[in-house]
Amino acid sequence: MDSVATPGRTLALVREKGLVPRKSRGQNFLVDANIVRKIAQAAELGPGDTVVEIGPGLGALTQELAARAGRVIAIEIDRELLATLTETLAGKVNVRLVAGDALKLNFDHLVAESLGIQEGRLPTYKVVANLPYYITTPILLHLLTGEFRIALMVLMVQAEVGYRLLARPGGKEYGALSVAVQYYTEPAIALRVPRTVFYPRPEVDSLVLKLTRRTRPPVAVADEDLFFRLIRAAFNQRRKTILNALGSLEREKADLTRILARAGIDPRRRGETLTLAEFARISQAWQ
Ligand code: SAM
């Protein structure tokens, strides 16, 4: 089928199939072929690549991914859309449509099963998505902490969230999710996307981020669980000093003061001013 990434084709499909784009599922479809091409370009796809797409919708991005990558596995939660997708993707033999909730799926299992290979032999793969915005945080955490063999993620997110993920210490945009993204990946902006290229049109602009998985963490952390517990505690009470914020972790104040001194951190600082390396030093001193 022709590209669905035009306002005319998308509207015609929506009318013909009697679809009602659901806000509750974050359904804002891309209707600009140029943006679709740029997203696919950012993923640097070739015939050797396997791509997992989250939320193919009507297939605008899927069609482009299928033209560039070796294999595409597209996970869609909405069964009505799945019926339409089998038409918009008809003839694309390298696409597998999967009905399901991306938050609940083990991506490595899915890719290994789709490629018919053992999970232990799985090559790295890529994830590309115009994300349904209501799942941005949980899906990012799932993809980052799931220990999947994902080498690169190209993800469209709300602009405001995108800037938060890239934020450096010291400002109010910097938070636990910025630290997680920067710990696991090297994030960069691939593209700024105006709200005008979607149907229906959302209330905010978007950013496409390119998150390249690091082969090695940027700071030495012996216990990642502890590292992220400290970070969550620091940002949960961001107005407090780091000494008081860490008090929620049930350790004596005198103990905490010693730990911070050992880590070389002024106890009066706020968590939002601490770098990844400083959080790592606290977690090392904690043990
Ligand atoms: N990729 C299409 C595009 O760019 O035009 C649609 C993107 S739309 C922003 C998000 C899509 O994700 C919708 O099709 C929606 O039904 C789907 N979706 C929402 N929640 C999902 C979930 N938990 N798992 C998989 N897909 C989901």
Q: What is the pLDDT of residues 58-111, one digit of tens each?
A: 999 999 999 999 999 999 999 999 999 999 999 999 999 999 999 999 999 999
Look at residues 213, 240, 259 and tell me which one is the last residue of a structural domain.
213
How many of the other CB atoms lie within 10 Å of CB of 239?
9
Pocket perturbation via mutation, ligand 1, pick of 20, 31, 76, 110 by most ligand atoms within 8 A of CB: 76
What the block records as the tokens of 66 is 């299928």
1 is a domain residue = no
Q: Is the pLDDT of residue 213 over 90?
A: yes
Kindly state the helix (H) or strand (E) to which residue 81 belongs, with its residue range.
Answer: helix 79-88
Least confident interval from 1-10, 19-28, 124-133, 208-217:
1-10
Ligand 1: lining residues by beta carbon, under 6 Å: 25-30, 54-58, 60-61, 75-78, 81, 101-103, 130, 132, 135
The CATH number of the domain holding residue 240 is 1.10.8.100
Give yes or no: residues 40 and 180 share one domain. yes
Q: Nearest-CA neighbor of 212 among 181, 191, 173?
A: 181
Give yes or no: residues 232 and 122 share one domain. no
Average confidence (pLDDT) over 36-62: 98
Closest Cα to atom 12, ligand 1: which residue? 55
Give yes or no: residues 249 and 282 share one domain. yes
Give yes or no: residues 228 and 208 share one domain. no
Q: Is the pLDDT of residue 250 over 90?
A: no
Cα separation values, 1 from 51, 64, 89, Å:
21, 12, 7
Number of domains in the chain: 2
Domain of 119 in residue numbering reads as: 7-213
Predicted confidence band of residue 238 (pLDDT cuts 50, 70, 90): confident
Output DSSP code: residue 122. Answer: P
Q: Is the pLDDT of residue 2 over 90?
A: no
Give yes or no: residues 70 and 121 share one domain. yes
Give yes or no: residues 124 and 253 share one domain. no
32 is a domain residue = yes
> What's the half-sphere exposure (Cβ side, CA atoms, 13 Å) at 10?
22
Give yes or no: residues 209 and 139 share one domain. yes
Pocket perturbation via mutation, ligand 1, pick of 3, 65, 78, 143 by most ligand atoms within 8 A of CB: 78
Average predicted confidence (pLDDT) for the chain: 96
- Strands 198-199 and 29-30, by their bridges, are antiparallel
Give yes or no: residues 174 and 238 share one domain. no
187 is a domain residue = yes
CA of 57 to the centre of ligand 1 (A): 5
Cα separation values, 154 from 24, 193, 264, 278, Å:
23, 13, 37, 28
Look at residues 169, 188, 213 and tell me which one is the last residue of a structural domain.
213
Q: Is the pLDDT of residue 1 over 80?
A: no
Question: What span, in angstroms and rounded, lies between the C-alpha atoms of 271 and 183?
Answer: 16
Average confidence (pLDDT) over 116-130: 96
Predicted confidence band of residue 17 (pLDDT cuts 50, 70, 90): very high
Look at residues 187, 213, 239 and tell me which one is the last residue of a structural domain.
213
Report the predicted TM-score, pTM, of the whole model to 2 decimal places: 0.96
Q: Is the pLDDT of residue 287 over 90?
A: no
Percent of the chain with pLDDT over 70: 100
Distance of CA 84 to the CA centre of its chain: 25
Please give the single-letter amino acid code of residue 282: I
Give yes or no: residues 21 and 154 share one domain. yes
Give yes or no: residues 138 and 272 share one domain. no
Q: Which residues contact 65 (CB under 8 A, 6 or more apart)?
A: 40, 43, 45, 51, 53, 72, 128
Atom of ligand 1 nearest to the CA of 30: 5
Give yes or no: residues 202 and 64 share one domain. yes
The CATH number of the domain holding residue 178 is 3.40.50.150
Residue 256's pLDDT is what? Answer: 96
ω into residue 200 within 30 of 0, thus cis?
A: yes
CA of 28 to the centre of ligand 1 (A): 8
219 is a domain residue = no
